[in-house]
Amino acid sequence: MGLQVAALFRLIRAGFVLAREGVPRLLDNEMVPSPARSALHLARLFERRRTEAADDATLLSDALHRLGPSWIKLGQFLATRPDVVGAVIAQDLEALQDRLPPFAMADAEKRIANALGAPVADLFVDFDKPIAAASIAQVHKAAAEDEDPDDGAVERKTVAVKVLRPAIRERFAADLESFYLAARLVEKFHAPSRRLRPIAVVDTLAASVALEMDLRLEAAAITEIAENMDGDEGFRVPGVDWARTARDVLTIEWVDGIKLTDVEAIAEAGHDLKGLAATLVQSFLRHAVRDGFFHADMHPGNLFVDENGDIVAVDLGITGRLGPKERRYLAEILFGFIRRDYMRVAAVHFEAGYVPAYQDVAVFAQAIRAIGEPLQGRIAKDVSMARLLMQLFEVTELFDMRTQPQLLLLQKTMVVVEGVARTLDPEFNMWATAEPVVADWIGTHLGPGGRIADAAEGVTAVGRLVGEMPELLARAERLTHGFAEMAREGLRLDETTVRNIAREEARQGRSNRLAIWIGAVSLAVIAFTAVFG
């Protein structure tokens, strides 16, 4: 109960901040549930006056910055979910910069010492002031010395040290309670939104943030991608210093290079811009389609070109995974659009189970054709693969396709990667660049070799099933006896179970009455409608 009340007050405060910043003006009244429209008009009374015309595109970003790190991370996450907040707000949130003032050097040094079990002076020979600070962590440039185990020579190396903010886990945990409260209120009072599964959206955010706040997992992601890329050329990730890495501290190789944001400097250094664009896109597609594991935060600030002309990716706190089904889906739909095989693209959606079986595959193929045909005959540089995927996800809503978060994260990352490639090469041909990677995967996995591998896997699965058959039969027999006894005697609960159920029902009843009363508070409604659309 206490947690719910605290979450409520944080939610009301958030609604007030959103109202003060003028966020309600971004909402389309027709899209807002009827009970919340009066609250929306009331919220406009709290909007602060501005001396200059406000840029509507920054209203939401400004409000989230005022609310703090958790809300910034929420905004970045919702930028990947246009299905939840709408395309316009998602586009506004794309520009949300995760930049905050750095925290004190003394706090950083204390956190490092606690995490690694030694003073900073014993771990690093130099430790500089922070060079970048975000909602979860900040980064310091440092130098370390290690002894070569073979000859005893001391090697000095420059490193980047990422340190978590103090008390950041507690702050996120508290704010997540507010997000869950908003999601529960909406699922309870606004039935149309249930298809978007607001509580599941917050679950995904909570899981993502939990992973980001264990820097050992980022280190593991770096090394996994490095192993996946072994033998690839033109793209790499920095090495990890595991001896100076823990849950709250990550130490990696310092990257000397030019950020991909500085195209002019890259050109002046003599690097091949067209080649870099192709390498970036093909590397991303290999990671997604071939490996099923990709860097999901590939904005140009996280990408460098080193002196050898290789692209180096940093900040792998956010990654995406695709299972075999999703990888096949991605490869086949891209290849189907390239080959104009719309029926095959439609069939893949049904085979993957993304579109319900009661829908008509031929009608769905017709909708796919409506997306693909306008692309034919257009100049390649004017055709966006990322936009095509966005249109595809929009169309699937008409056919009751449930939200697939992993595919939305992929699509969002592809938007960013494609945009970076076009800044390097305005004439960039996304389709010609992607085709070799996609065709290679299809040839390997859907050709004769792939079918033989699938058959072998099926034989192995049958073998395992045969081996487990005696235990499965024993379980089935016990279950049958249990049902038979229940049919004779009825379902019986012991006294302790009955008391616990009664206590929980009473507690839920009080909580629900409180939530309903609170739901009438206009600013709580504003908080949801503004953030969750």
| pLDDT score for 454 | 46
The residues assigned a catalytic role are 297
What's the whole-model pTM score?
0.73
What letter would DSSP give residue 378?
Answer: S
Considering its fold, how many domains does the chain have in total? Answer: 1
Establish if 59 belongs to a structural domain: no
Cα–Cα distance between 459 and 100 in angstroms, integer?
Answer: 55
| pLDDT score for 481 | 58
The residue assigned the tokens 């379980």 is 475
Instruction: Give the HSE-up count for residue 481: Cα atoms under 13 Å, Cβ half-sphere.
Output: 5
Cα–Cα distance between 444 and 448 in angstroms, integer?
Answer: 8
| pLDDT score for 2 | 60
| pLDDT score for 251 | 97
Amino acid letter, residue 454: D
Establish if 374 belongs to a structural domain: yes
| pLDDT score for 522 | 41
Helix (H, G, I), strand (E, B) or coil at 146: strand
Boundaries of domain holding 329 = 256-446
Establish if 412 belongs to a structural domain: yes
Q: Could you tell me if 56 and 25 are in contact, meaning their C-beta atoms sit under 8 angstroms apart? A: yes
Establish if 418 belongs to a structural domain: yes
| pLDDT score for 145 | 92
| pLDDT score for 53 | 47
Cα–Cα distance between 503 and 138 in angstroms, integer?
Answer: 46
| pLDDT score for 311 | 96
Establish if 480 belongs to a structural domain: no
Residues in the chain with pLDDT values less than 70? 1-3, 19-58, 80-88, 94-95, 97-98, 192, 195-196, 376-387, 393, 396-397, 403-405, 446-533
Cα–Cα distance between 504 and 483 in angstroms, integer?
Answer: 27
Q: Could you tell me if 515 and 182 are in contact, meaning their C-beta atoms sit under 8 angstroms apart? A: no
Establish if 91 belongs to a structural domain: no
Establish if 52 belongs to a structural domain: no
Q: Give residue-wise pLDDT tens across range 369-388.
A: 888 887 766 655 666 666 67
Q: Could you tell me if 208 and 318 are in contact, meaning their C-beta atoms sit under 8 angstroms apart? A: yes
